[in-house]
Amino acid sequence: MAVTQPNGRLKGKVAIITGGGGGMGGAQARLFASEGSAVCVADNRFEAAEQVTAEITKAGGSAIAVELDVRSADAWAEVVARTESELGPVSLLCNNAGANFRVGFEEQTEEQFRLIMEVGLNGAFLGIQAVVPSMRTAGVGVILNMGSLASIRPGGGSPGYAAQKMAMVGLTRSAANSFAKDNIRCVIISPGHVDTSFIRGNNEHSPNSWATSIDNPDNFERRLHNTPLGRLQQPEDIANAFMFAATDDAAMITGSMITVDGGAAL
């Protein structure tokens, strides 16, 4: 992990990063901390959040791990209160937590559809509501939502995922419009095919079998073939875009989508 720069690009910032124990959330947490932000690593898999936090503190950064199920408004209130008291008012929020069940329209159960929406969409909505008062205290804020190729065209292997990631565009634009007056920006960042456990492993929130995992060379090759720049993205590729959007380099960017997909949506 990069050496922490106390005077880095995010000096004085306080970030809450959901899905912070995961591939992309973890990469954001490490990068933000290395650039001087204090980071609250939030995940419903507490041990995964603790592991990322341990790496950050070992490198000289400032971080706390919290257990958070993004579907609970009460849990959000506790996490924001704890972050404020231990790190200070929240100035950055990264909504990464997501779920997917890769089955077609006629096979997807109501329970699966609801879970995808509740984690990805309701979770981000509740997170935004929870942090905005803290961002007003900070006097500045940036909310970064995780999109997908499914935010651009139907896909992602299931109707719930297609609906959730398209709806994230609307949520981003609504938040951007509502909170610009508070000096709070909101941006959606849409990756292509990112080599994480989400599309490789068999997780509770994102099950994969041999038929869907990129451990299967056929699936890996298909995703590679669909990426004009010739490689899958790494979590760090996406974290770099989150970093850009979090800084004043993006001071006039709000309500927009940034795609980081190697051209996969073309």
Question: What residues line the site for ligand NAD (CB under 6 A)?
Answer: 18-19, 21-25, 43-45, 48, 68-71, 96-99, 119-120, 146, 148, 191, 193-194, 196-199, 203, 205-206
Return the number of the residue (36 or 96) whose C-beta is nearest ligand NAD.
Answer: 96
Catalytic residue among 32, 125, 161, 198: 161
Is 68 one of the catalytic residues? no
Q: For the chain, first and last CA: distance in Å?
A: 33
Q: From the CB of 164, what's the least distance to ligand NAD, in Å? A: 8
Task: Please give the structure tokens belonging to residue 198.
Answer: 């989400």
Q: From the CB of 264, what's the least distance to ligand NAD, in Å? A: 10
Q: Distance between CA atoms of 234 and 229, rounded to whole angstroms?
A: 13
Q: Distance between CA atoms of 111 and 96, rounded to whole angstroms?
A: 21
| Sequence-distant (≥ 6) Cβ neighbours of residue 182 within 8 angstroms | 132, 135, 136, 141
| DSSP characters over 68-109 | --TT-HHHHHHHHHHHHHHT-S--EEEE---------TTT--
Return the number of the residue (21 or 262) whose C-beta is nearest ligand NAD.
Answer: 21
Q: Which residues of 117-177 form beta strands (DSSP E)?
A: 141-146
| Sequence-distant (≥ 6) Cβ neighbours of residue 2 within 8 angstroms | 30, 31, 34, 59
Return the number of the residue (11 or 222) whose C-beta is nearest ligand NAD.
Answer: 222
Q: From the CB of 13, what's the least distance to ligand NAD, in Å? A: 21
Q: From the CB of 252, what's the least distance to ligand NAD, in Å? A: 25
Return the number of the residue (120 or 262) whose C-beta is nearest ligand NAD.
Answer: 120
Return the number of the residue (36 or 159) whose C-beta is nearest ligand NAD.
Answer: 159
Contact 190, 258 (CB under 8 A): yes
Q: From the CB of 153, what's the least distance to ligand NAD, in Å? A: 13
Q: Distance between CA atoms of 62 and 28, rounded to whole angstroms?
A: 14
- Backbone φ and ψ for 259, nearest 5 degrees, come out as -95, 135
- What positions carry a catalytic annotation? 161
